[in-house]
A and B are shown apart, each in its own frame.
Chain A
Amino acid sequence: MSGEVQSVPSPQEAVERALAAAKCDDCIVIADEGSSANLRWAGNSLTTNGVSRARQLTVVAISRSGDQARVGVVSRAGVRADQVGDVVAEAEAAAAEASPAEDAQPLIAAAAGPADSAGFDLPPTATEIGVFAGFAAELGTALGTAASAGRKLYGFAEHQLTSTYLGTSAGLRLRHDQPTGRLELNAKSADLTRSAWAGAGTRDFTDVDVTTLEADLAQRLDWAARSVELPAGRYETLLPPTAVADLLIYLYWSAGAKDALDGRTVFSKPGGGTRIGEELASLPLSLHGGRAEPGLQCAAAPGRCWCCRRAC
């Protein structure tokens, strides 16, 4: 192929080519078109930055025999049109070699799929460094303000946009655009002994007020100028939402049903089973998940399980 330029298919074309090439009993194809832009700074100056674009094709081949299903999953980046069939063949070969999946389910029929599949035929959307144009200017001012006041700002701003196209051999066609943006801003005293952190989530950086965030951090650094020694021990501790969110990540990782059933997590019931239905904390806390939560909107169903109800 040396010196020869091969065509890269559109995501829709990649999905249809893969499904057409599939010889397995059921097939799921996911084409992701992703783009990202980021800026990073430390000690009031830029450290790294970048933009990137990538495309990825994932083929889930399912080979069925009676109630058993063997699954092969292959994901490859930068797939050219002439390589789509190879990815399908690799997934089918992986399925043929796999042992039966414990959690196999039938594919979702096209008519029963999620309603928000509009736009499958439209081209993907992308982000670029320009998403930071206004933000970078405001951040530059904030860095100058911090420097003149003897503070140091550190942080990271990232914007990602992924257009995902999904097709299945059951006729389902879905498309989802996922914008994800975040700002992390960390202010420190000149001697680095005091530190305060703030974070913000955003879909497009038009709603990020870095000036206000910097002023808030400056106030918190001032508060930290007066400190008291605490002996080691147990204390009532107040956590801001951003700190609680960090703890929830570990909770999320630890909340798998299978591990609980296997008896190897805090959610396992001694003697067998899970602790579903038990009171886990004395405080009246509740925890819920919602993909339509404002600011946290995500794909039409959790993770990759739009289509086959299993962890692909």
Chain B
Amino acid sequence: MDDTAIDPEFTAYPLRQLADAALQRAAQLGAEHADFRAERIRGQQIGLSDGNLETQFDSDDLGLAVRVVVDGTWGFAAVGDLTPEAAARAAADAVDVAKVAAAIAAERIELADEPAHGEVTWLSAYEIDPFDVGVADKIALLGGWSRELLAADGVDHVDASLYQVKECKFYTDGATTALQQRVRVHPSVTAVAVGADGRFETMRTLAPPAGRGYEYLTGTGWDFPAELAEIPSLLAEKMAAPSVQAGRYDLVIDPSNLFLTIHESIGHATELDRALGYEAAYAGTSFATFDKLGTLQYGSPIMHVTGDRTAEHGLATIGYDDEGVAAQSWDLIASGVLTGYQLDRRMARLKSLGRSNGCSFADSFSHMPIQRMANVSLQPATGGPSTAELIASVTDGIYIVGDKSWSIDMQRYNFQFTGQRFYRIRNGQLAGQLRDVAYQATTTDFWNAMEAVGGPQTYVLGGAFNCGKGQPGQVAPVSHGCPSVLMRGIRILNTVEEAGT
């Protein structure tokens, strides 16, 4: 691929010279493995409150990192100076870190083999670099959306925001040298209604964050004017909606809500480092332990979940991961059975699983790569039903749209999710909104209750910018595609009653 589209300010740095200085120094100091990464990550946040600019922040993070294995122990060092001297010093620092850390290292670090990919370049799919668009244009767009909503009856406040990121990476371990760039944006608008009794409700746009450029805000991939036009009436209906009666219901869940349930109950649960206990102190473990691989009936037989770092516009999509592993797509759950995990090179070697599937990622030059989530997606049913057809098959249930709050335990097993809006389903028809709704289940009960999966026409790629994991804390962007689904007999809580208020 032509690499001239990659940030020329980044490629102007002597990246190969820096890498050579670092890798040669690491080899001189006895490292049995060394890899080099240089990164520039530009970010911009714009936030408006009631149409007035509240936040505008530009960040530009630039530096290099060296990771080594010395006598079977990791060592990592990063520095913000892109000079050959700094690169060589970082290599020496990484070796020093490995020597100090050897006092607490009882397991020898070994990495799964990866084919050499040579010199490669990768660029994500977007049309307009959001950093090429003036801030005034963005503020004007968000401000226009805000004022339109504020002018509507029943809308008391409006928050509008735009997050955008451009990530440039240069990686080499001697066998693979990858130069990559990707762009992502997340526009969001929330309308707030405040009642005279002090009760307040919100309604947020469903537009997911996307691995796209500024064209996403102006008509490619999402119709913001159409969605914003519906917000006031949806919010007014929510303010007037009756509180839900707790009990068991059949649920039709929209992709705008289900993506988050997939993230929490499948995405995190199928990270092998978690399943093996390496994240037990902070992020947690997984009920889907390694001994259950190939046997755990995770969900109903119609459940097919894949991991990938290849989906177009996916937030976890990349050409090569932060260990030089080429992006792949693989099964995590097939016919409802757990069949795979997300891996980095150490995890793959540790359990003799062959090649890594490419899930190593660091969110900054200053952080050591760890195993992070791929795009984890529930596949639609070929020729499957529409959302309306799923709703039509429910006599007494609830249709759930949009994500909001959630809670899940450290094993990714007992969970509770809310949403943006909830519609009563009676005799196959929507019968108005409900409020104060949360659904609660265990992961396996929930996914085994899945009776129908929607067709490709219902499939949406949702996601988030801010999946957290690791210490020091790292955030990673990740997408989750899914169709609408039908779940039978899921427990519904009334959140107000649960809170005792």
Contacts and interface: CB of A to CB of B under 8 A. Distances in A.
Interface of A: 1-5, 8, 36-55, 71-78, 90, 93-94, 97-102, 128-130, 132-133, 136-137, 139-140, 143, 147, 152, 154-156, 158, 184, 186, 188, 192, 234, 258, 262-264, 268-271
B104 A3 contact: no
B63 A78 contact: yes
B34 to A, nearest CB: 14
B200 interface: yes
A154 B281 contact: yes
A75 B76 contact: no
Contacts of A40: 471
18 contacts: A1-B12, A45-B107, A49-B368, A51-B78, A51-B97, A52-B65, A53-B80, A54-B63, A76-B62, A129-B96, A130-B100, A154-B280, A184-B282, A264-B192, A264-B194, A264-B200, A270-B196, A270-B198
B327 to A, nearest CB: 23
Interface of B: 12-14, 17, 49, 52-54, 56-63, 65, 73-85, 93-94, 96-98, 100-101, 103-107, 134-136, 139, 143, 156-157, 192, 194, 196-198, 200, 202, 277-282, 285, 366-368, 370, 470-472, 500
Of the listed residues B57, B61, B76, B100, the one surrounded by the most CB atoms of chain A closer than 10 A to its CB is B100
A77 B60 contact: yes
A78 B82 contact: yes
Contacts of B53: 98-101
Nearest to A132: B100
A73 B56 CA distance: 7
Contacts of B14: 2-4
Nearest to B64: A78
Please report whether the interface of chain B is mostly helix, strand, loop or mixed according to DSSP. Answer: mixed
B287 to A, nearest CB: 11
Given A38-B472, A52-B77, A263-B198, A97 B58 contact: no
A137 B106 contact: no
Contact of B62 (A38, A78, A263): A78
Given A49-B75, A76-B60, A140 B104 contact: yes
B96 A136 contact: no
Given A47-B278, A184-B471, 5 more contacts: A3-B14, A139-B104, A192-B285, A263-B200, A268-B200
A262 to B, nearest CB: 5
Contacts of A154: 280-281
B471 to A, nearest CB: 4
A46 B103 CA distance: 9
A49 B101 contact: yes
B60 A97 contact: no
Residue of B97, B157, B197, B279 ringed by the most chain A CB atoms within 10 A: B97
B197 to A, nearest CB: 6
Contact of A43 (B98, B192, B277): B277
A76 B105 CA distance: 36
Given A75-B59, A186-B280, A186-B281, A55 B80 contact: yes
B466 to A, nearest CB: 14
B6 to A, nearest CB: 14
B204 to A, nearest CB: 13
A52 B59 CA distance: 18
A53 B78 contact: yes
Nearest to B15: A2
A298 B62 CA distance: 27
Given A5-B84, A262-B192, A48 B76 contact: yes
B104 A45 contact: yes
A54 B285 CA distance: 32
B471 A129 contact: no
B135 A97 contact: yes
Contact of A2 (B13, B79, B134): B13
Contact of B76 (A49, A72, A77, A133): A49
B12 A156 contact: no
A271 B280 contact: no
A43 B278 CA distance: 7
Contacts of B76: 48-51
B259 to A, nearest CB: 24
Nearest to B196: A271
Query: Which 10 A/B pairs are nearest by Cβ-Cβ distance?
Result: A270-B198, A154-B281, A50-B76, A97-B136, A263-B194, A45-B106, A76-B60, A52-B78, A140-B103, A52-B366
Centre residue among B79, B156, B470 by max chain A CB count within 10 A: B79
A45 B276 CA distance: 13
Contacts of A38: 471-472
Contacts of A101: 53
Nearest to A96: B136
A156 B282 contact: yes
B56 A184 contact: no
Contacts of B136: 97
Contacts of B103: 136-137, 139-140
Contacts of B134: 97
B285 A75 contact: no
A190 to B, nearest CB: 11
B105 A270 contact: no
A147 B282 CA distance: 20
A99 B93 CA distance: 46
A3 B21 CA distance: 12
Contacts of A155: 281
Contacts of A102: 52, 54
A48 B74 contact: yes
A54 B366 contact: yes
A50 B194 CA distance: 48
A1 B13 contact: yes
A206 to B, nearest CB: 16
Given A129-B100, A263-B194, A44 B471 contact: no
Contacts of B96: 129
Contacts of A39: 100-101, 104
Given A49-B74, A156-B281, A54 B100 contact: no
Contacts of B202: 264
B86 to A, nearest CB: 9
Nearest to A312: B57
